[in-house]
Amino acid sequence: MIRLLAPAHWKDYQLVDSGGFEKLEKFGDYTLARPEPQAVWDKSLPEEEWQRRASAFFRKEKNNPEKGQWELKRGMKDKWLMDYRHDRLQLTFKIALSSFRHVGIFPEQAANWDYIFEKTSLFQNPRVLNLFAYTGGASLAAKAAGADVVHVDSVKQVVSWARENMEVSRLDNIRWIVDDATKYVKREVKRGSLYQGIILDPPAYGRGPEGEKWLLEEHINEFLKLCAQLLDPQGHYLILNLYSLGFSALIVDNLITSCFGKVAQPEYGELYLPDSFNKKLPLGVFYRFSNV
């Protein structure tokens, strides 16, 4: 059965409102207004209230809708820290306002961080591979649970950001790899490496550090087959997140079944964030399974 999954333990984050192709979010001490292409409904709060509450607004460029600039109110910072706390999982993140409207964290992924911490804690000396790992929320959750973590991303600046998150979270010894994910996974298969945990957050489109091309619909099937060879059959978990609007939860279910066969404890569906008016903002599909 397809599941709707939202994080349940945020204290420093809130989706205040959504609609009109925008979202109003509170990250720690600051509230941001930024574009959200899936928020096709009306806002619940009036525009004047958005203007009053937001400390910064993202304005898209006319010639490039993927980029833009932030307009900051007086006293607003462009970088600050925020925490995620749930039981023994204690993480801190650097939030920064980028020209691509992102801020260094995907709050909906907290639901997976809890899962990662719980599953990783069940192993002795586990190895966890985080691919397309961005600023490392999943890497931090695995490391906090005692894993030997390999963090792979093709963008050096993003890996540096993830390292900062590790340091402010008072963790250490994550292995940082700046590389094309496909090339790295192929090398690991040749080496006969095995991991107890694999986490994948592939983009719809991307480039490796040497211009390697990634297209989700063309490459994800073969990529998952490679990952299947790295998953320890004796004990494992895997999480796959996809943000492409063209991929439904049923497509992901078919992919996993094709590449991994029958899996234990499967969960799949849509990730979402509820706003304070009970509207559900969809933020991608997920699949996760575990035999522990």
pLDDT tens for each residue of the chain, 292 residues long: 799 999 999 999 999 999 999 999 999 999 999 999 999 999 999 999 999 999 999 998 888 777 899 999 999 999 999 999 999 999 999 999 998 889 999 999 999 999 999 999 999 999 999 999 999 999 999 999 999 999 999 999 999 999 999 999 999 999 999 999 999 999 999 999 999 999 999 988 888 888 888 889 999 999 999 999 999 999 999 999 998 777 899 999 999 999 999 999 999 999 999 999 999 999 999 999 999 9
Residues 6 or more apart whose Cβ sits within 8 Å of residue 284: 108, 241, 242, 243, 270, 271
Joined together, the tokens standing for residue 5 give 């999954």
CATH number for the domain that contains residue 21 = 2.60.40.1180
Joined together, the tokens standing for residue 162 give 């993830």
Query: Is residue 93 a part of any domain in this protein?
Result: no
Cβ of 271: how many Cβ atoms within 10 Å? Answer: 23
Q: Which residues pair with 57 in a beta bridge?
A: 33, 71
| Count of structural domains, the chain | 2
Q: Is the dihedral of CA 265, 92, 126, 241 positive or negative?
A: positive
Question: Rounded to whole angstroms, how far apart are CA atoms 170 and 158?
Answer: 19
Query: Is residue 90 a part of any domain in this protein?
Result: no
Residue-number span of the structural domain to which 29 is assigned: 3-79
Pairing of β 197-200 and β 213-215: unpaired
Within this chain, do residues 118 and 21 fall inside the same structural domain, yes or no?
Answer: no
Within this chain, do residues 136 and 233 fall inside the same structural domain, yes or no?
Answer: yes
Stated pTM of the model: 0.96
CB 17, CB 51: distance < 8 Å: no
